[in-house]
Amino acid sequence: MVANQRIIEQAKTQGRTVLTELESKQLLKEAGINVVETRLATSREEAMTIAKQLGFPVVLKIASPDVVHKSDAGGVKLGLRTSKQAGKAYDDIIAAIGEKYPQAVIQGVSVQKMARPGVEVIIGMSQDAQFGPVLMFGLGGILVEVLKDVSFRIVPLEKRDAAEMIREIKGYPVLEGYRGREKVDIAYLEDMLLKVSNFVEKNPEIKELDLNPVFAYSDGAIAVDARVILEVEEKK
């Protein structure tokens, strides 16, 4: 909780409401939510060293509160297999972001483990004017962006809400192992939803949350991207 408060306070001091992926993952990890191990590099050399420590393959991503859609801006490099590749990816990301967002405040580049592919799902939270914090669950990927196949429940979630919201999406058969795909560990996802609900309840200063995507497996699930947005502080 102490580290959580520090991350949130630091953002507030800097006058920002958007937490970077790295900061968001730190908060979530402390809440017991499984996230890909992610560290910050502030130089090409550091990126190479961290990559070696984590073990290949790795993923590098821009760490900036001003770049929300990281891959659109050339800010994500997947499947890097050597420290040389990681070093080059560091330089490429900094160059691409510098060109596209010359005003962006850049913390550095995050270096993370490349998670093995799974069934992509999304977990989100937004504030409803009437109901307060509401959790969302859905399948990830382009199809779902088009079809908007998602379910919602008001926070705090009961065990039963978590079970229902997973089963009521139209794409549920996909999670049960559609056409030879991996059958997903539903109980683990239910538990993840409950943990997110709990996390949101305990941190009322969080306005929005996005775990997009979470890779779901036959034995667990892991968030590979995360974004937290804080409530704007009212001036006293």
- Which residues of this protein are in contact with Mg ion, per CB under 5 A? 212, 225
Q: How far apart are CA 165 and CA 163, in angstroms?
A: 6
Q: Does 63 bind ligand ADP (CB under 6 A)?
A: no
Of residues 59 and 192, the one with the C-beta less far from ligand ADP: 59
Q: How far apart are CA 232 and CA 235, in angstroms?
A: 9
Q: Does 36 bind ligand ADP (CB under 6 A)?
A: yes
Q: Does 96 bind ligand ADP (CB under 6 A)?
A: no
- Residue 39 binds which entry of Mg ion, ligand ADP, none, with Cβ cut-offs from 5 to 8 Å by kind? none
Subset of residues 166 to 225 that bind ligand ADP, contact rule: CB under 6 A: 213, 224-225
Do the Cβ atoms of 112 and 59 come closer than 8 Å?
yes
Contact with ligand ADP (CB under 6 A): which of 25, 29, 61, 195?
61
Do the Cβ atoms of 216 and 185 come closer than 8 Å?
yes
Task: Tell me which residue of 136, 187, 140 sits closest to 163, measured CA to CA.
Answer: 187
CB of 159 to ligand ADP, least distance (A): 29
Question: How many helices (H) and strands (E) would you count in the chain?
Answer: 8, 10
The 10 Å CB-count burial string (b at 16+, else e) for 102-134 is eebebbbbbbbbbbeebbbbbbbbebeeeeebb
- Residue 136 binds which entry of ligand ADP, Mg ion, none, with Cβ cut-offs from 5 to 8 Å by kind? none
Contact with ligand ADP (CB under 6 A): which of 19, 22, 50, 76?
76
CA separation (Å) from 202 to 1, 4, 16, 38, 199? 10, 11, 21, 24, 5
The tokens for 10 are 């630091």
CB of 116 to ligand ADP, least distance (A): 8
Do the Cβ atoms of 152 and 166 come closer than 8 Å?
no
Q: Does 163 bind ligand ADP (CB under 6 A)?
A: no
Q: Does 59 bind ligand ADP (CB under 6 A)?
A: yes
Number of residues engaging ligand ADP in binding (CB under 6 A): 14
Q: Does 28 bind ligand ADP (CB under 6 A)?
A: no
CB of 91 to Mg ion, least distance (A): 23
Do the Cβ atoms of 110 and 120 come closer than 8 Å?
no
CB of 106 to ligand ADP, least distance (A): 15
CB of 111 to Mg ion, least distance (A): 17
What is the contact surface with ligand ADP in residues (CB under 6 A)? Answer: 36, 59, 61, 69-71, 76, 78, 112, 114-115, 213, 224-225
